[in-house]
């Protein structure tokens, strides 16, 4: 992500609702869930981001904006399968 121009804002950002793997900024703030799988036997990493995880990230973002000025933001998913890395922009 650094090579693409993203700047790290927070890593492992903990809240009472859960933890965001990364918060980065480029043109907008991005809350990032990183999912790793060694095999796709049980689906892709992104498929492991279910409704519960999405709701957790929404609560994390709400918590973030309690102490930060609200701005444009989105949720991305980073899939890591072996050496393959895929960024799903606006993953949920």
- Residues 5-25 pLDDT 10s: 999 999 999 999 999 999 999
Rg (alpha carbons) of the chain, rounded to whole number: 13
Q: Give the three-class secondary structure for 15.
A: strand
35's CB contacts (< 8 A; 6+ apart) are 45, 46, 48, 49, 77, 78, 79, 80
> What percentage of the chain exceeds 70 in pLDDT?
100
| Residue 48 in tokens | 């492991």
Nearest residue to 33 (alpha-carbon basis) of 20, 24, 43? 20
pLDDT at 88: 95
d(CA 18, CA 82): 26
The full set of domain ranges for the chain reads: 2-88
pTM value is 0.90
Whether the per-residue pLDDT at 50 is higher than 90: the answer is: no
pLDDT at 45: 83
Whether the per-residue pLDDT at 60 is higher than 90: the answer is: yes
pLDDT at 44: 83
Whether the per-residue pLDDT at 35 is higher than 80: the answer is: yes
The topology (CATH level 3) of 2-88 is Trna Endonuclease; Chain: A, domain 1 (3.40.1350)
Using the 8-state DSSP alphabet, how is residue 2 labeled? G
């Amino acid at each position: 992500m650094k090579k693409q121009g993203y700047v790290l804002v927070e890593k492992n950002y903990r809240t009472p609702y859960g933890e965001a793997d990364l918060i980065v900024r480029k043109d907008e703030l991005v809350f990032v869930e990183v999912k790793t799988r060694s095999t796709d036997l049980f689906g892709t990493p992104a498929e492991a981001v279910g409704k519960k995880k999405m709701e957790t990230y929404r609560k994390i973002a709400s918590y973030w904006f309690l102490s930060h000025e609200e701005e444009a933001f989105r949720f991305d998913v980073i899939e890591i399968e072996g050496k393959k890395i895929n960024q799903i922009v606006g993953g949920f």
